[in-house]
Structure 1
Amino acid sequence: MNSRVVFSSRAWPRLPLHALAGAVGAALPMLAAAQSPQVAPLAVVAVPALHETVVTATRVAQPLSDLVADVSIVDRDTIEASGATGVLDVLARLPGIEISRNGSIGSTSSVFVRGAETRFTAVYLDGVRLDTQSTGGAPWEAIPLAQVERIEVLRGPAAAVYGSDAIGGVIQIFTRKGEGGVQPFVSAGIGSQRTRKVETGVSGQAGDFDYAVGASYQESAGFDVRTPDIRHNPDLDLYRTHAANVRLGWRINAQHRLDANALASEMQSAYDASSGSSYTRARIFNDDRNHHHLRTAGLGWTAQWTPEYKTRLSVTDSSQRYETRIVGQPASYITQTQLRDYRFENEYRTGAHLVTAALERREDRLLNPALDAYSKTIDRERSQDAVALGYGYVQGRHSLQLNVRHDKDSEFGGKTTGSAAYGYEFAKGWRVTASAGTAFRAPTLYQRFSEYGDPSLQPEASRNMEVGLRYASGDTNASVVAYRNRVRNLIVFDGARTRCGAAFGCYNSVGRAEYTGITFAAGHRIGDLTLRASLDLQEPRDLDTDKLLARRARAHGVLGADWRIAGWTLGAEVQASGRRWDNAANTTRLGGYTLVNLSASTQITPEWTVSARVDNATDKRYELARGYATAGRTAYVNLKWAPR
């Protein structure tokens, strides 16, 4: 008997919460009963192995099976099979994550983890902190996907481990690491909108030395990123990026190791402003461009002093520069953030116990030069000194994780955060979890000292509680996690306030928000068929106005399948999202959407792999931000040479 499931973006948000929760909850035992542990793993899987090591939850390497936290892992095979061209496109397929983007890949982008603001996610690239001290949040559009080997996503507050910013979650991005013999690769692809991409690199080990070096170039003629109802330059809006990275390691002896990494990325994209300056009576349109410059560097020393005691000392630095300009004219806006971090970690393991302690210093600087008579130069610095303690216990059916951290800000004084998480395996493969934690984010230097700033802004602070039910056995996993995260001193741009002297308004930190929701996720393998699914039902709400927060749907989810047959891996995926509001007043609606993505890959020889992908196969027209178009149906074909 054949069956068909139809996803309607209009009907989804109207479905009762308890009905969806009951339906997915009822499916968990059926998934458990259908497990097939004897099936060999596939190259592209949605079910991570329980012994896989994760570092994001506590900043210490731990088996996935020991974690109480809500974590997702994406490896390189999955990234390549997805055919994604940007980091955000990979993240959008994970539970608990939504994205918003003003046009194409190189445009201003946001990531909402469990509905939280994009600045509420702490982001690291090879251990290097990424953030902007302008409006806050990682410069997602500047992070090159070509260099990425692995992504770990932690959903839920983690300020007791990471300090400021980790209110909604943490995302760690790792580049390739040298292993085994010499492993070169070259990859080239072409696609719709005159998209071209080339990647090359080499990695490996030579005695006690390991290395990985890579470079990439990607460009596309793009599409017109503004919708027809917006006055703008109706040209194709290109994007172009090139990047290079190096990651080195030296095993001095059995107890000591040095690591170093560096990455540089340049991105240019067109966006075509809709302001009066871009439209004249003579109908002469400007060609507006974004320019992103990202640099990261890190150096670390790891020492295993005894079988139980290990330390790590690291220094990291990142610099992000963003500017906008009209082609042929000087820059109209420039902002540059530099972050430097010094960290000393201690780890002591004995039996079922893990004790951690860390000292950390973070230094932030923002430089915004005044480029016209209406702005002012910002050149400000601040620092945060912190001490963090952690305790983990895993024994039999019980898992416990406790963390506390005290940050002393050079301007705001002390801030203490803590978290407690407990997991209990009540039956084989079944575990119930519960956690609570506090978190904060200090206002950015721009929010305090720009022409729209208010020096009296206070740090945003949150309290989170969550409970979860998880099943994992063999080739099957499933989970249900319910959470509530309340934020006070929420910083918003208040158009009614003019205390800062700006005609348009000022930043204000008197808002309150609540992020509540339930995340369902499941994965299962049946023979050569791998299935995965996730569904998020959420209420990201402004408690002062009782309005939904902008650009976040009350329901969104992903359903995917990968099938290996006759040497091919075939994939199909459905991404669906409900309706959202584009503004805080909830007066401008963005429609829901359903996207269908298809992929195929095969090894034509042991060294050569060809892959193809069609995104938005039904050519759905939709918006992630009002006035900005998204790509229609696109196709991409890639050929990779990687000798074994």
Structure 2
Amino acid sequence: MTILSLRARRAAPLRPAVLAALSFIAASAAQSQEAMPPLLLAQNARLPSLRDTVVTATRTEQPLADLVADVSIIDRETIEASGATGLADVLARQPGVQITRNGGIGNATSVYLRGAETRFTAVYIDGVRVDSQSTGGAQWEQIPLAQIERIEVLRGPAAAVYGSDAIGGVVQLFTRKGEGPARPYAGVGLGTQGLRKIEAGVSGAAGTGSAFDYALGIARETSDGFDAKASGAHNPDRDGHRSTSGNARLGLRIDAKHRLDATLLASRMDSGYDDFAYTPAQPVDDRNLSRLRTAGLAWDAKWTEAYSTRVSVTDSTSRYQTTPAPYQTETRLRGYLWQNDYRLGAHRFSAALERREDHLNNPALDAWSMSIVQGRSQDALALGYGYQRGSHTLQLNARHDSDSEFGGKGSGSVAYGYALTPQWRATASVGTAFRAPTLYQRFSQYGVASLRPETGHNAELGLRYAQGRSSFSAVVYRNRLSNLILFGGAGTCASSFGCYANTARAQYQGLTLAASHHWAGVQWHGSIDLQNPRDLDTGKQLARRAKRHATFGADTLVAGWTLGAELQASGRRFDNAANTNVLGGYALVNLYASTRLARDYTLLARIDNLGDKDYQLARTYATPGRTFYVGLKWAPQ
């Protein structure tokens, strides 16, 4: 197996009806609305309320109203209503996000945030960084959606806060946190292609003043799957998956000023795929074997009303191998953070010292590969300043990272927001970001030790509206990247097949519109992305990314049932850099319904891809077709 067999890409016009519907949503966002039933509101994938708090933008919990960043929040109710089995499928229904997958669940998955490659999105689980120093970026197929309680998606560069990798944005994933009396839950689900799900857990708080809180969860999922390949020589078997995951989150409030938190997550995935080397004379069952483990320990101290600190130690291990084709890679990340926050009236100051240690182990399992055992470290100082008073919001961030291999790299951002009215807000920001070369890109047989970091320069303008249950946002952005690392022809590396090199420039430019509005007893929501992800050197459209991508949905409550419909539409894309292999556009219609069968039981049913649309996210790789799912959850109120 080589580096060329790893990931996926998107692009072409949407139908006029889709554009008209989304234009109507944007125009009606400022109109009055009627009350919406609580159950329906919980099921709706909406833009976040200004009352929500987020931590992703500045690494400190803040009201959304104080932020200038472009952020989406996905809660557990929305995740469950999606009926999805993969994390990427939930993200694909958010503004500015496209995905590709090489076959079914458990296979190589890419998430493009504003058109930026997977390696340009920094991913955290309960504050623990997840990454692969082999493929670059988080291996999305390893992350168990069943254990995720809340998702925050930050679009736009954030290297000035998080350091290397956050060129396109940041995705923060949070597991359940315990509070109140013990709350057990259990759920089962069945679907087409032999899909079977089971999950159980408990969360709550105990002790004097609920000083100790806990949340435990476990889940098992199996599926017979479908044939992962749509054409070409391959094993015509069904490529299913089996996954087991669990998490524990514990908290102890020592006193009014000090708190300890510990988190642990583990996941195993066994999924089928079809190797390129398949021969009918010797059929084999090719398998992906993945393992992800994350652990974190944090101490939060509030020394005064104005000054607080956070000290954390985190560790993650991402392991991937294939069988019987011999390939194995394991990335381990260790992180140390000391963050200080000080508030003085309308002013917020932050200072953080951070250390990151990466380690890659790729054993040589055949005559065509070489053993890689390499490590590196990055030490950083990050400074931040925030100001919020009246109509004005200002956020400044600067960071310097010192890498043990290539030296120092600085990044910074400036963001400003102005409240035109209590409902309307205009924002503007500029920022720089970078991604350090992976250890594989530098030390494999295809690697070049002198590779330089990939760098990005982003500028964006935004306009947002929020009142009650109506919201609207429009964000225009341009992110230019230089020193892009691509795999090309023979060069200075050990392999005559090809080498990595800093040879490219790219630009992610576009407009994202998103809105949610209650009208005529129905909650309408949708987004549309009009973008132009292109190679600045060739002028070609970047592979596997559509220029137009949209989601649209409607929910209503009828006789105690929440009924909903979704439309996901994507334009034409190209599967290669030369733009010669076309991936056709597609439109998918999904239907779902949910109700409370009794006080403690909730039933969910979904039909995805109602029209059984035949489409591809990656050339020659199949997608699941029409699927049906029904789930029952018990959660005492």
- The normalised TM-score by structure 1 is 0.94
Q: CA deviation at 1:570?
A: 1.0
2:418 aligned residue: 424
Q: Distance in 2 between matches of 1:293 and 1:24?
A: 40
DSSP 3-state at the match of 1:552 = coil
Alpha-carbon contact 2:136-2:438 (below 8 Å) kept:
yes
The one-letter amino acid of 1:239's match is H
Residue 332 of structure 1, aligned match among 323, 326, 351: 326
Question: Alpha-carbon deviations, 1:271-303, whole Å to 9, x = none?
Answer: 11122xx215x3x32211100010100000000
Q: CA deviation at 1:60?
A: 0.7
Unmatched runs of 5 consecutive residues or more in structure 1 = 1-8
Residue 33 of structure 1, aligned match among 31, 52, 57: 31
Q: Distance in 1 between matches of 2:35 and 2:473?
A: 18
Residue 224 of structure 1, aligned match among 227, 235, 238: 227
Q: CA deviation at 1:13?
A: 5.5
Q: Does 1:359 align with 2:353?
A: yes
* Structure ranking higher on relative contact order (CA contacts 8 Å, 6+ apart): 2
1:109 aligned residue: 109
Q: Distance in 1 between matches of 2:176 and 2:31?
A: 37
Q: Does 1:526 align with 2:508?
A: no
Q: CA deviation at 1:426?
A: 1.4
Q: Distance in 2 between matches of 1:570 and 1:429?
A: 29
Identity %: 61
Q: Structure 1 133/561 Cα, relative in aligned 2: closer, same or farther at 3 Å?
A: same
Alpha-carbon contact 1:424-1:431 (below 8 Å) kept:
yes
Alpha-carbon contact 1:47-1:524 (below 8 Å) kept:
no
Q: Structure 1 393/406 Cα, relative in aligned 2: closer, same or farther at 3 Å?
A: same
Q: Distance in 1 between matches of 2:265 and 2:451?
A: 34
Q: CA deviation at 1:561?
A: 1.1
1:585 aligned residue: 578
1:274 aligned residue: 276
Q: CA deviation at 1:527?
A: 6.6
2:541 aligned residue: 548
Q: Distance in 2 between matches of 1:373 and 1:460?
A: 32
Q: Structure 1 97/38 Cα, relative in aligned 2: closer, same or farther at 3 Å?
A: closer
Q: CA deviation at 1:457?
A: 0.7
Residue 471 of structure 1, aligned match among 465, 473, 481: 465
Residue 481 of structure 1, aligned match among 465, 469, 475: 475
Matches within 5 A, 1:91-102: 91-102=91-102
1:286 aligned residue: 284
Q: CA deviation at 1:154?
A: 0.2
Alpha-carbon contact 1:39-1:526 (below 8 Å) kept:
no
Q: Distance in 2 between matches of 1:10 and 1:469?
A: 26
Q: CA deviation at 1:234?
A: 0.2
Q: CA deviation at 1:525?
A: 2.1
Alpha-carbon contact 1:462-1:485 (below 8 Å) kept:
yes
Q: Does 1:376 align with 2:374?
A: no
Q: Distance in 2 between matches of 1:551 and 1:365?
A: 30
Alpha-carbon contact 1:230-1:274 (below 8 Å) kept:
no
Alpha-carbon contact 1:325-1:333 (below 8 Å) kept:
yes
Q: Does 1:404 align with 2:398?
A: yes
1:255 aligned residue: 257
DSSP 3-state at the match of 1:43 = helix
Q: CA RMSD in A?
A: 1.8
Matches within 5 A, 1:123-202: 123-202=123-202
Q: Does 1:243 align with 2:245?
A: yes
Q: Distance in 2 between matches of 1:69 and 1:37?
A: 29
2:41 aligned residue: 42
Alpha-carbon contact 1:292-1:322 (below 8 Å) kept:
yes
Alpha-carbon contact 2:47-2:73 (below 8 Å) kept:
no
Q: Distance in 1 between matches of 2:184 and 2:21?
A: 48
Q: Distance in 2 between matches of 1:609 and 1:70?
A: 33
Q: Distance in 2 between matches of 1:504 and 1:389?
A: 44
DSSP 3-state at the match of 1:100 = strand
Alpha-carbon contact 2:11-2:547 (below 8 Å) kept:
no
Question: Alpha-carbon deviations, 1:310-344, whole Å to 9, x = none?
Answer: 00000000001100012xxxx60000000000000
Q: Does 1:233 align with 2:235?
A: yes
The one-letter amino acid of 2:48's match is P
Q: Distance in 1 between matches of 2:260 and 2:540?
A: 51
The one-letter amino acid of 2:315's match is D
Unmatched runs of 5 consecutive residues or more in structure 2 = 1-9
Alpha-carbon contact 1:470-1:480 (below 8 Å) kept:
yes
Q: CA deviation at 1:23?
A: 9.5
Alpha-carbon contact 1:47-1:475 (below 8 Å) kept:
no
Residue 296 of structure 2, aligned match among 270, 295, 298: 298
Question: Alpha-carbon deviations, 1:423-458, whole Å to 9, x = none?
Answer: 111123111110000000000000011011111110
Matches within 5 A, 1:45-56: 45=44, 46-56=46-56
Q: Distance in 1 between matches of 2:361 and 2:225?
A: 31
DSSP 3-state at the match of 2:160 = helix
Q: Distance in 2 between matches of 1:26 and 1:79?
A: 26
2:119 aligned residue: 119
Q: Does 1:309 align with 2:301?
A: no
The one-letter amino acid of 1:364's match is D
Q: CA deviation at 1:590?
A: 0.4
Q: Distance in 2 between matches of 1:438 and 1:577?
A: 29
